[in-house]
Chain A
Amino acid sequence: MKINSEQIVRRALMLVAFSALASLLLIAVFILKEGVPFLFKYGPLNFLLGSIWDPQAGQFGIYPMIVASLWVTLGAMAIGAPLGIAGAIFLNEFVPRSVLRVVKPAIELLAGIPSVVYGFLGVMVLAPFIRAHLGGPGLSVLAASVILGIMVLPTVISISTDAIGAVPNSYREGALALGATRWQSVHMVTVKAARSGIIASIILAMGRALGETMAVIMVVGNAVKVPHSALDSARTLTANIALEMGYATGLHREALFATGVVLFVVIMILNALATSAIKAGSRRS
């Protein structure tokens, strides 16, 4: 009887584990099946480098959105990565463990706030602030970057903290014994040793920023054009899909799936990079 129930549980758990894998496979197959034929029909270069997106006129160039996604993501990293890494170093090296035990879960709580709430804050507080003090429409690449920069903090801090915490104490002791100051030991030894984990945290955060949709739609303004400055409005790849999905039929719908394919490929590359960064780190230590 006991063996029997154990086997049932094992089978059931195996099924659950594989169902996650199966859904990933299904999503990949579905997106590729719907999107790839369009890519070849329209021409991959026309699609990726065309600068006019006008579904009614049959023009589907996503170059402005690729540029916008790139700028918004890089902007988010420029804000989120330094803040997050500095925070992780501080929490590990400069405050007692008891503080880390309280603060880290609190930061991870940030990840639980729905993205629509971040977007709402962006629309109500950040965009009017930018419009009043820096000019432009307010709903802009800058606003999206700041909001995303805050949204990726939990990812950066949480993974970086783990990486820095995993550096053996003997490294720090060795550095201090050689006469290094505390700051020298931190940036020359500890952070170097935890480098791969920190890089992985940044890459994963990039994936998060690139894929975020709701908060971005609300604060980025969604104009279909290549942004010329951080104060310009623009439209990201994710926003493009979400805005037009409801109406799209025929070629238009296929073009949106092809946009999904582009996103999917980029995110896959980012994840592979993150995984290999983590692996490289574990090989060294």
Chain B
Amino acid sequence: MLQRWMGWMGLAFLAGALALSGCGKQRAAFTMAGSTAFQPFAEKLADQYMAVHPDVAITVQGGGSAVGVQAALSGAAQIGMADLVTLPPEAAALKNVVVARDGIAIVVSPKNPVTQLTLDQVRRIFNGEIRTWKALGGEDTPVRVVSREAGSGTRSSFEQIVGNLKLTSEAIIQDSNGTIRETVANDANSIGYLSHGLLNDRIKAVQVDGYLCTEESIMAGHYRLVRPIYLLTRGEPAPTSKAFLDYILSEEGQSMIHSNGLIRAK
């Protein structure tokens, strides 16, 4: 009985292996790697693209923006993904194209009466210089800063755009946009920052230098906390990856990016 089972299983494995090796050969394949912020979008775009072009196989990997740059340089991935405000110097050797943009919203609890801040106030809050909401036109309660962990792309973009920022050691650290949102929603005295796509009515975005983090103000160039999302290739992209890049920049690709919470490239 046991032996028969083993036999069947072996046969099944063999058949599976043959089937896999058979179909892999005729398809044009390339890999994308990098930014975890753009990864889910890249996966969706790749799925949609492959549904129309069954002869193309796209593999999407994460790893972070630094990995995206490295993988594109080394050729481990044909397309690197990076969500950095300024690309590192080694990326100068790469061809880059902005495929989407992401606003970073400064958020507080809806119970907080404060509705606007200047960029300088934001800097001093996260530096730990401003410690009560009274100084910002709110109640006389302590300001509780919530930030992302060291190495997060959202955090490094935020710190770069704000400039001269040395995060206070009092800051509570949360490891995702979602937990930042929960923490800020639950604590009336807290302030945090998160990706524009994750705003909802449990938290309140404040105006920065007079502008809210909305698509209109970002497109018009008024809202300052915006980071681009780059796709990187070494030299001119190969025809298959070029076709995919064109698809991402096409109306269909851009509207998919838009409907899922990011902002169009142009």
**Which chain A residues have a beta carbon within 8 Å of chain B's beta carbons?**
54-56, 123, 127-128, 131, 137-139, 217-218, 221-225, 233, 235, 243-244, 246-249, 252
Contact = CB atoms under 8 A, between A and B. Distances in A.
A139 B172 contact: yes
Contact of B170 (A123, A131, A223, A235): A223
Nearest to B70: A249
A221 B149 contact: no
B152 interface: yes
B170 A249 contact: no
Interface of B: 64, 66, 144, 149-152, 169-175, 179, 182-183, 186-187, 190
Given A223-B170, A247-B151, A138 B64 contact: no
Nearest to A128: B186
A243 B183 contact: no
A56 B186 contact: no
Given A137-B172, A222-B173, A235-B173, A247 B183 contact: no
Contacts of B190: 137
Nearest to B145: A223
Given A223-B173, A225-B170, A244 B187 contact: no
B169 A222 contact: no
B172 A221 contact: yes
A248 B190 CA distance: 28
A127 B179 CA distance: 14
Given A54-B150, A223-B172, A247-B151, 15 more contacts: A55-B151, A123-B186, A127-B186, A139-B183, A217-B175, A222-B172, A222-B173, A222-B174, A222-B175, A223-B170, A225-B169, A225-B170, A235-B173, A243-B149, A244-B150
What are the 8 closest A-B residue pairs judged by CB atoms, nearest first? A247-B151, A222-B173, A225-B169, A221-B172, A243-B149, A55-B150, A137-B144, A233-B172
Contacts of A224: 169, 173
Given A137-B144, A244-B150, A246-B151, A131 B187 contact: yes
Nearest to A226: B169
Given A223-B169, A223-B170, A244-B150, A249 B175 contact: no
